[in-house]
Amino acid sequence: MTDRDIEAIRASCTHVLNRHITPTIRESLQALADFAPDDSRPDMYGSGDLINTFEQEVASLLGHESAVFMPSGTMAQQIALRIWAERQNNFNVAFHPTSHLEVHEQTAYRELHSLRGILVGNPHRLMTMEDLKRVASPLGALLIELPQREIGGALPTWDELSEIIEWAQQKDIKLHLDGARLWECKPFYGRDYAEIAGQFDSVYVSFYKIMGGIAGAILAGPDDFIREAKIWQRRHGGNLVQMYPYVLSAKIGMEKIMPRLQTFHDKAVEIAAAISQHPAIEVTPDPPLTNMMHIFLKASGKALKEASLDIAEEHGLWMGPWFGPTQIPAYQKYELSVAEQAVSLETDYISRRFAELVERAQAYDAEWNKVPDESNIST
């Protein structure tokens, strides 16, 4: 089956299980046009009422003085760590082994900014206070991700987080919050974003993940920090002539999605409880701490992909993305972020589809791995 065939199947589905349905270009542009005030004007190189008002609104929401809108979180976080490293005169920056900087950015922090990454803790669990105490090198900055995407959206308790923050502050280590999915933490902590993010020296948040925006991020922190970040944004080529489509889509997401995050989390807990009853399915964290979870399915990746395409064609349910390998070869990992589409489906229906997915996949594996009966082979 070609990529074009798979895309045709995806396009034919009436529901997607993971995150949001991707709108067409026409639908996206129409939504922006409908949302934009009649008298709104485009921004120019980061200046203009639309972008600057939004920056200040998000800065206040996060408990910080100022903010700057950037095209990507990759850019925002490298800039944040570079600024803190230079101010501290210490280019050692610590983060979890599964940090986006380490896993998804081709070690750009090192190649572009000469930062020395100190990986702290075990890649399969949260960074702990004991892990940090074992770090021998002095640190200029510490990056903490809330929630931890690569381990299923795990979060430290409030007391555990507070202990780490207090330790870093006592050692004069600058704290940066990777808040790519920070919006999804509120149901777990039950605290305002300003109380969560305001403890950090700087924070980045994304608008294209659960908020469903086109692209874009905000970096927030003290006034002087943001002024310097804007210089680095220009150096990175990120001070685009106009960013109003990204800003408008971010505002739409904030308005529509923010009130729904508790509902998304509650649905995730329901789904996890239902699907984990199957003997070939396990969930982590269990129960989910946000609207995200990692689901471990006992079948091969190839068979799961084939089974998910069967389900897409027969039930109109897209269960992508695909399934990744784990430390246990017999299991594959599926990342589920619950959003409006999953909420609109009955939990029992979702549970039955997961059972069907793994059982179909196991049947494919059994068929593909069948050993021929040599007694029936003619000589």
Q: Give yes or no: residues 209 and 276 share one domain.
A: no
Residue 190, token pair as written in the block: 């039950």
pLDDT digits (tens, 9 = 90+) for 6-51: 999 999 999 999 988 888 999 999 999 999 999 899 999 999 999 9
Q: Give yes or no: residues 246 and 321 share one domain.
A: no
Q: Give yes or no: residues 282 and 212 share one domain.
A: no
User: Does residue 285 carry a pLDDT above 50?
Assistant: yes
Q: Give yes or no: residues 56 and 79 share one domain.
A: yes
Q: pLDDT band for 378, please (50, 70, 90 cuts).
A: very low
pLDDT digits (tens, 9 = 90+) for 297-355: 999 999 999 999 999 999 999 997 689 999 999 999 999 999 999 999 999 999 999 99
Q: Give yes or no: residues 12 and 99 share one domain.
A: no
Residue 93, token pair as written in the block: 């920056």
CA–CA dist 281, 332 (Å, integer): 10
Average pLDDT, the chain: 95
In this prediction the pTM is: 0.94
Residues in Cβ contact with 107 at an 8 Å cutoff, skipping those fewer than 6 apart: 101, 117
Residues 177, 202: contact at Cβ < 8 Å? yes
Domain that holds residue 168: 25-255
The single residue listed with the structure tokens 């549970």 is 351
Q: pLDDT band for 379, please (50, 70, 90 cuts).
A: very low
The three-point CA angle 125-130-132 to 5° equals 85
Residues 45, 241: contact at Cβ < 8 Å? yes
User: Does residue 164 carry a pLDDT above 70?
Assistant: yes
**In-domain check, residue 375:** no
User: Does residue 371 carry a pLDDT above 70?
Assistant: no
Establish how many alpha carbons lie within 13 A of residue 26's alpha carbon, considering only the half-sphere containing its beta carbon. 0
Residues 163, 127: contact at Cβ < 8 Å? no
User: Does residue 179 carry a pLDDT above 80?
Assistant: yes
pLDDT digits (tens, 9 = 90+) for 117-151: 999 999 999 999 999 999 999 999 999 999 999 99
What CATH number did the domain enclosing 350 receive? 3.90.1150.10
Q: pLDDT band for 375, please (50, 70, 90 cuts).
A: low
Q: Give yes or no: residues 121 and 34 share one domain.
A: yes
Q: Single out the residue of 278, 266, 357, 376 nearest to residue 310, CA to CA.
A: 357
Percent of the chain predicted with pLDDT > 70:
97
pLDDT at 22: 84
Weakest mean pLDDT among 169-173, 326-330, 367-371: 367-371
Q: Give yes or no: residues 100 and 57 share one domain.
A: yes
Which 3 state secondary structure label does DSSP give 293? strand
